[in-house]
Structure 1
Amino acid sequence: MSLIRLLVPANIRHSSGGNVYNARVAEGIRDLGVQVETVPVDGSWPDASAKDRRRFGSVLGAWEQEQEQEHEPGQRSAVALVDGLVAVGAPDELEFATKAGRQTFVLVHMPVPETSGPEALQKEARALRTASGVICTSSSAAAVLKARGLPNARVALPGTVRAAPAKGSTPPHLLAVAALLPNKDQLLTVAALAGIQDLEWTASLVGSEQADPEYARLVREAVSTSGLAGRVHLSGELTGAALEAEWDRADLSLLVSREEAFGMVVIESLAHGVPAVVRRGTGAVEALGVARLQDADGGTRLPGAALDLPRGGEADAGVLGANLRRWLEDHATREEWKACAMDARERLPGWDVTATTVLDVLAVTP
């Protein structure tokens, strides 16, 4: 029987898209009858210490040859699927594991940003070139790797969990689900909401305030100084029934991240029949279009909108605010987006599709 060992970074403790993907795909693989062992890897990844990297190498079996390991009759050695955040921090260990005959695949949620510098990009290149194979969780991530001349990656898009359609609220309720981080740009959302205070609405920012406490403080301060304290609620990170309750009262979700490989929260929104607004030029546009509708004339309809927000500051806040104003004031727009989201909800892929794709890349059969 095959065993997949999924190695994930232990230092990412908030509910990130990568963490959710890892947990869901492991569950999906188990449901298909394949053993999966999820192994949190200690260290400040991707910048882990030498001790943490060596410990990671030991988990991979990098220091001993494959033939030295004993296995039960008919049992293959474990196939390692390494989260990209760990892999790009330990290219040496991946190279040793490959030389020792280990099967090591890398799961890339987001490529190393260009702004990380040449050393980080070189580590990424070494890690991915030595791997047995590469899986990306979005087409946009795979395209970035291809443009860098790295090995072609297979794409295993996130799946969805079937959810009850949201009931919505009166007045309309806007929801932004993401850890409070500069990349997620909640300050932009607050600035946009400050410009439409003459309209009726409420909003919730749902996400960890521990990932970047200083940025979280700035967001809270912006809500207060903008006079939005009674209308914008910062709930912290929510899970389970509390998070479902937020989705149930939502009429529109927002994901205006500056960089996003995919944006799993967008398809989570669609799974609840809630349309979404995202930033154009990020992978969140792919998520918004996963189950897009095609018109008779060949055009497409999105369950929401992808906005150009390239400039930053007040200009982007004005663009976002103007689009939210149009959605709030134009009943036809609200109805069209909602109808598209409800249609998309019926066609979203499940995690079984994701798990099957991953197993195919790993050449593991149930």
Structure 2
Amino acid sequence: MGRRIGFARWRSDVASGGNRYDDEISGELRGLGIELREHPVTGAWPVAGPGDRERFATLLEAEQRWLVDNIVAAAAPEAIAAATGAGRAVVVLMHYFPSDDLSLPSRDRAALAASEERAVRAASAVVATSAWTAREVARRYGRHDALVAVPGVDAADPAAGSERDGRAPALLWLARVTETKDPLALVDALAQLRELPWTARLVGPHTAHSDLSRELRRRIAAAGLADRLEITGPRTGAHLEQIWQRTDLLVHTARSEAYGMVVSEALARGIPSIVPLGTGAIEAQQGAGSAFPPGDAERLSQELRGWLADPELRRRWRDLTAELRPRLPTWTAAARVIAGAFPP
């Protein structure tokens, strides 16, 4: 395609779906012949200070075409408007809604909702990571032309699971320990299922929110689940794949979710999931499992009980994942959507 695009991206210090999406898309855009120039954006985004925003505004003068991560754009609508007003093409990539981030103070969340609306309206184009996110952009901000670039997923070997080896069904929760990801909902749900056979792992970074991490461990101990529910911390590479291979069911409890790459990664391994209703995770799941209202531990417990107690249901969910695995989205397709958002 022979075009040059600047990519203004902010990288989390810990592993995240946003980091992974940006990394994969960068490689795929270059594979399409685009000269992609990555410009790391530093600062406390999305709650950035005046100096951070000024530096970002200056950065946008360096290229004529920009892909901007919305964790940055949401806090810098004036810079987006100035760039497009000067004739630059600015495509905002919507990973998530900062105003939904429960780890932020309510005042900051309200301010971000207002500032992100201005940024989205000022952008040349908007790319969302799911159809759900695109609908939310339309509902929240009145912009109805967002393109959809669903995250790809790498092919993987089907998980053997634990149940097929005669062990208790193995559950996996894989995310950062934050209020938004809501691991407490899983603990509270499993506390009601002590009489059933199961094991569970909570995998992911858990040191950023110390109060929540302490409460998580306290509830596990109080429920008498310490011998069945393990907090492993982050795992990557072969160590994470070993956990995937022993998993029978993914449980995703996020209060807000733009897509849920972990759900499609489970699907690639033939693992069904239980996900939160009214979020992009429903889209990623494609019906291979069930759903519950976010934050409703009672309903989650009911869904888990149904799966744990019904071997036929477990078989049907596994069979559905086998049907869906060959048709999972690709990173190349996502990159083509993003490339198409820019003028020729």
Give yes or no for contact 2:46–2:98 (8 Å, CA) kept in 1.
no
Q: Does 1:352 align with 2:332?
A: yes
Give the CA deviation at 1:130: 1.7
Give the CA deviation at 1:151: 5.1
Give yes or no for contact 1:14–1:211 (8 Å, CA) kept in 2.
no
Query: What does residue 6 of structure 1 align with?
Result: 7
Query: What does residue 187 of structure 1 align with?
Result: 184
Give yes or no for contact 1:176–1:255 (8 Å, CA) kept in 2.
yes
Structure 1: gaps spanning 5 or more residues: 63-76, 290-301
1:274 to 271, 275, 278: 271
Give yes or no for contact 1:263–1:284 (8 Å, CA) kept in 2.
yes
Query: What does residue 35 of structure 1 align with?
Result: 35
Structure 1 segments of 4 or more deviating over 4 A? 114-118
What amino acid sits opposite 1:195 in the alignment? Q
**How high is the TM-score relative to the length of structure 1?**
0.86
Query: What does residue 145 of structure 2 align with?
Result: 152
Question: For this pair of structures, how many residues does the alignment match?
Answer: 332
Query: What does residue 175 of structure 1 align with?
Result: 172
Q: Give CA deviations for 1:301-346 in whole Å, capped at 9, x if unaligned.
A: x21111235xx5xxx3232222212212211001000111121111
Q: Does 1:362 align with 2:342?
A: yes
Q: Does 1:232 align with 2:229?
A: yes
Report percent identity of matched pairs.
39
- The 5 A counterparts of 1:99-248 are 99-113=85-99, 119-147=111-139, 148-150=141-143, 152-169=145-162, 170-248=167-245
**How high is the TM-score relative to the length of structure 2?**
0.91
Give the CA deviation at 1:287: 1.2
**Secondary structure of 1:48's match?**
coil
Give yes or no for contact 1:91–1:124 (8 Å, CA) kept in 2.
yes
Q: Does 1:91 align with 2:91?
A: no
Give the CA deviation at 1:31: 2.5
Query: What does residue 26 of structure 1 align with?
Result: 26
In 1, distance between residues paired with 2:46 and 2:226?
37
Q: Give CA deviations for 1:248-298 in whole Å, capped at 9, x if unaligned.
A: 111000112111111111111101110000111122111112xxxxxxxxx
In 1, distance between residues paired with 2:297 and 2:85?
52
Give yes or no for contact 1:180–1:207 (8 Å, CA) kept in 2.
yes
Query: What does residue 53 of structure 1 align with?
Result: 53
Give yes or no for contact 1:80–1:103 (8 Å, CA) kept in 2.
yes
Structure 2: gaps spanning 5 or more residues: 101-105
In 1, distance between residues paired with 2:232 and 2:109?
35
In 1, distance between residues paired with 2:241 and 2:5?
31
Q: Does 1:288 align with 2:285?
A: yes
In 1, distance between residues paired with 2:4 and 2:71?
22
In 2, distance between residues paired with 1:363 and 1:95?
18
Specify the structure having the higher radius of gyration (Cα). 1
In 1, distance between residues paired with 2:228 and 2:111?
45
